Amino acid sequence: MDILTGLSAATQAIGIAKELRDIDRSVDEASFKLKLADLTEALADTKIALADAKALVAELEHKLDIADNGEICPKCRTGRLTLTESEPVHDWALNRFGVENRIYSCAEDSCDFQETRLHDPNGLVARRVSGI
């Protein structure tokens, strides 16, 4: 469920709550119970949407942290990986399209972790391997 659906459910719940205040309970018990059930359903939808939004916010905050600070080093678990060098691949055709090897190192002085990753901005390597 998306955030807009949750906001819509919350607005609906508020409207139902206002209607509940206007119903004379002694005269129309059935209408009161029906509106109460509608209110419960709208609040449940709101709760689900808010839980989904909370999970989305946590995921985006994690991605933002990685983008700002780098990934956590898999070896020492305290330092962050930083791009230290990039070098062209040895294939001229791929090199023309920005495919390169990127070397990441842990920023922690006591850690010697280093990793090379293939940077392929256009997804050419996957297409080339699969024969597309």
Enumerate the domain spans of the chain: 3-69, 81-130
Query: What's the confidence (pLDDT) of residue 131?
Result: 52
Query: What's the confidence (pLDDT) of residue 106?
Result: 95
Query: What's the confidence (pLDDT) of residue 44?
Result: 87
Query: What's the confidence (pLDDT) of residue 61?
Result: 93
Give the mean pLDDT per block of 10 residues along the chain (132 residues). Answer: 77 82 72 83 87 91 87 92 91 85 94 93 73 51
CB half-sphere exposure, 130, CA atoms < 13 A = 6
Residue 40 backbone class (left: φ over 0; alpha: ψ -120 to 50; beta: rest): alpha
Beta-strand relationship, 100-106 and 114-119: antiparallel
Query: What's the confidence (pLDDT) of residue 80?
Result: 92
Q: What kind and span of H or E run contains 37?
A: helix 29-69
* β-bridge partners, 118: 101
Cα Rg, the chain, nearest whole Å: 27
Query: What's the confidence (pLDDT) of residue 58?
Result: 92
